[in-house]
Amino acid sequence: MDRSLRAVLAGTFTLRFSTGLTGAMLAIYLAQLPQHGGEAVTATTLALLHAMFYVAELVLSPFFGILSDRLGHHRVMLFGPAFGAAAVILTGLTTNLIILGGTRWLEGASTAASVPSILGFIAIATAADELLRGKMSARFEGATLLGLGAGVAIGPILFATIGPLVLTNVLWFRSIRRIGANRATLVANLEPFVAAVLAVVLLSEPLGVLQVLGGVAIAGGIVLARRRPSRAQAT
């Protein structure tokens, strides 16, 4: 099997991985849409938005299949990443359900443009070897199923980790530029104290003696850290 066929399988896995990933993360995003200024999403709306992807793929695949035969498989393959990138960018920039429905059509168009052109390329590349064609067809389906499964499994994890991680790092470096590294570090030392207070207020966690002593120790350390520079300058 030559490089081009391996690249096609890798591209198929990546395409289907992004499909499963986007679908899983979209469900979580829609559940939290009111927190971002959007309207509440009902179960019917959620189902329709997910179905739009597959409707778009079903409707547009014949068109892109014909276009692939006329323009060439390699050219039409490039449409898929372009549609997918546009859909991902628009999804992150809007809370409008109509636009989000449009992004699902773009994602479906991405798959509709990629799959027929990939299958057409495989058919041409394996025309002289029926055994290789059978293997490639099976590997294509395997890459499809594996990519979808991996995307659905990893999507919620990425949504829960990357989002807060990126946001906190952006805020951290902005605070360093605004108030300086010394003050920003002092504020960072308050994290355990603030976490304990929020746990008591929001989660009704019990507050024990050790937690109180820890809070006092943190406050004392911050006070001492703020006083040491002034004493050094006075001497």
Domain range for residue 226?
Answer: 189-234
Distances (CA, A) of 173 to 35, 52, 87, 179, 225: 24, 40, 29, 10, 21
Co-location of 63 and 163 in the same domain? yes
- Which helix (H) or strand (E) is 125 found in, with range? helix 97-125
Number of domains present in the structure of the chain: 2
Co-location of 18 and 121 in the same domain? yes
Co-location of 131 and 198 in the same domain? no
Co-location of 219 and 165 in the same domain? no
Co-location of 100 and 194 in the same domain? no
Q: What is the pLDDT along the chain (235 residues), one digit of tens a residue?
A: 678 888 888 888 888 888 888 888 888 888 888 877 788 888 888 889 888 988 998 999 999 989 988 888 888 888 888 888 888 888 878 888 899 999 999 989 988 998 888 888 888 888 888 888 888 888 888 988 888 888 888 877 776 676 666 666 666 677 777 777 666 666 666 677 777 777 777 777 777 777 778 777 777 776 776 665 544 444 4
Helix axis angle, 97-125 relative to 79-93, nearest 10°?
160
pLDDT of residue 231: 46
3-state secondary structure of 90: helix
Co-location of 13 and 76 in the same domain? yes
Domain assignment present for residue 15? The answer is yes
Co-location of 152 and 207 in the same domain? no
Q: Choose among 107, 115, 114: nearest CA to 51.
A: 107
Domain assignment present for residue 178? The answer is no
